[in-house]
Structure 1
Amino acid sequence: MKYLRFNLRIWFGLLGLVCLLASPLLAAAEMMSNQQSRQPAKARNAACAELPAEDATNLGLIRQTLADGKPHAALAFLDASGIAHPQAEVLRADGLRQSGREEQAEQIYRKLLSTCVSGYAYRGLGLIAANAGNIQEAVEHLRMASAALPTEHTIRNDYGYMLMLADKGNAALHEFLTAVELVADYRQAAHNLLLLLYRNGDDQRAQAFARQFGVTAEEMTHLQEMARQPLSHANINQERTGVQ
């Protein structure tokens, strides 16, 4: 027994020595692991660095060209600019989508999902899915877009319209209200909100909002007519969802 206790003391002593020697190695390994896990984030941040003033101005003009319904011109300006940046790439994908080249656009959007423009990439995928009539897929993509860019009023409107198409009226209502509260003169979200209220038979509330937003009698009549018809993804144009 005395010999056994002696051996146990030696064994525990050796075990303690091993632990002491291993601790610095484990700490170093953990530090290296943490550094490696942070490297992708640094790379993404570097890729999304602030643009030079001239590039930012050029992309702003290209963005406006897309908003004006001139995707081919926007793509030409992008080619001429030579800007290599995620913001330029998402505009390229938008231009391809708006000009009917959705497969090429989708490839770019998917590559951008891990970048600083992921919210806009999810939005693009959502609009492609909506245009194809894949409403549930569109809802999921736009949910991700809204989570990434919660104060982007156009995305809240798009998401709301898809929710309305998916018969999720209460959720859609809150998205439209969020959009019009973020940007008070956002006409499209206001029209979609009124359309939803008319479809729900809440005419009194719709009329109150119409007065608040300055919606004309002619516009209200048009929205009431739309409310009596089945909703369709065909109401989605190439850049925005819902009624104009």
Structure 2
Amino acid sequence: MRAILMFTGLLLLGGCAGQQPDGLSRLLGGGSCSKPDADQQLSLDMADQMINEGRPHAGLAHLEQLPESLDQVRLRKAKVLRLLGRSEAEPLYRSLLGGCLAAEGEHGLGQIASARGDDQQALRHLQRAVRLAPTDEKVRNDLGVVQMNLGQHAQARFEFLTAIELKDDNPLPAINLVTLLLVQDNWNQAEDLVRRLHLGAAQFAEAQARAARLKAGARGPLAAAAQPAALVN
């Protein structure tokens, strides 16, 4: 962790993205979710297990026997349906806005917008998600990817560094930061970061491939696009 903090001082040159005021309900989203009863929790756990084992259809079947009045059920269904490319995911994510899982709703809407190539809309959703859940490293990473796609390199670097410091055992923000440095042709800093964070040769190769695609005009994938099985976090 000390290596991360030392390297942060070398890289942290820019601020985070500007933020627009939003509707009060979105800004104040939060609070406690109503808890499922024991049988409902068992079904949720079973659905989680199946989804994480790569059986999304089976997981969805278990979720469909639970009431959609539970925010936790709507969130899981939205994640599975997004993975399966179903349009029903978006209204489920929107149903979470203003509630106890508003940050997750904004995050999901940002992922959907990014998947269809609308990085400006994704940026707005992910910025709101960060305001609602500032310590969620997955949201920070995804915001950084969208900012990198938009050429907002200083802001993206800030988000990747924040994600790394929040949870240094998640390699995705580190790979994305190396990608950004390679896009900027900062090879010395990229190689130094790989050494300090103990990234492997395969991870460095992945960063190089992503950087080459970005330089060629392609877009970088969000975390969920890179790891579709990791739905329940």
Interval of TM-score (by shorter of Structure 1 and Structure 2): 0.7 to 0.9
State the match for 2:59 in structure 1. 74
- CA offset at residue 112 of structure 1? 1.4
State the match for 1:138 in structure 2. 122
State the match for 1:171 in structure 2. 155
Contact 1:126-1:139 at 8 Å conserved across structures: yes
- CA offset at residue 202 of structure 1? 1.7
Q: How does 1:1-244 map to 2 (within 5 A)?
A: 48-52=33-37, 55-56=40-41, 58-82=43-67, 84-101=69-86, 103-230=87-214, 232-233=218-219, 235-236=220-221, 239-240=224-225
The one-letter code of the counterpart of 1:232 is A
The one-letter code of the counterpart of 1:66 is I
SS of residue in 2 equivalent to 1:239: helix
**How much identity, in percent, do the aligned residues show?**
31
How far, CA to CA, are the matches of 2:152 and 2:46 in structure 1?
A: 37
Contact 2:142-2:223 at 8 Å conserved across structures: no
SS of residue in 2 equivalent to 1:133: coil
How far, CA to CA, are the matches of 2:177 and 2:41 in structure 1?
A: 34
- CA offset at residue 173 of structure 1? 0.6
How far, CA to CA, are the matches of 1:241 and 1:168 in structure 2?
A: 21
Equivalenced residues, count? 196
SS of residue in 1 equivalent to 2:64: helix
Mean alpha-carbon deviation: is it higher for 58-67 or for 88-97?
58-67
- CA offset at residue 226 of structure 1? 3.0
- CA offset at residue 57 of structure 1? 5.5
Contact 2:179-2:208 at 8 Å conserved across structures: yes
- CA offset at residue 72 of structure 1? 1.4
How far, CA to CA, are the matches of 1:45 and 1:175 in structure 2?
A: 25
Mean alpha-carbon deviation: is it higher for 211-220 or for 103-112?
211-220
Q: Which has more helix, going by share of residues?
A: 1
Gaps of 5+ in 2: 1-29, 228-233
Gaps of 5+ in 1: 1-43
The one-letter code of the counterpart of 1:197 is L
- CA offset at residue 146 of structure 1? 1.1
How far, CA to CA, are the matches of 2:155 and 2:169 in structure 1?
A: 21
Tell me which structure has the larger Cα radius of gyration: 1
Cα distance change, pair 238–158 in 1 and its aligned pair in 2 (3 A): closer
With the length of structure 2 as denominator, give the TM-score of the two structures. Answer: 0.74
How far, CA to CA, are the matches of 1:110 and 1:85 in structure 2?
A: 14
Contact 1:109-1:122 at 8 Å conserved across structures: yes
Superposition RMSD on alpha carbons, in Å? Answer: 2.5
How far, CA to CA, are the matches of 1:213 and 1:53 in structure 2?
A: 42
- CA offset at residue 159 of structure 1? 0.8
Structure with higher RCO (Cα < 8 A, 6+ apart): 2
SS of residue in 2 equivalent to 1:100: coil
The one-letter code of the counterpart of 1:105 is A
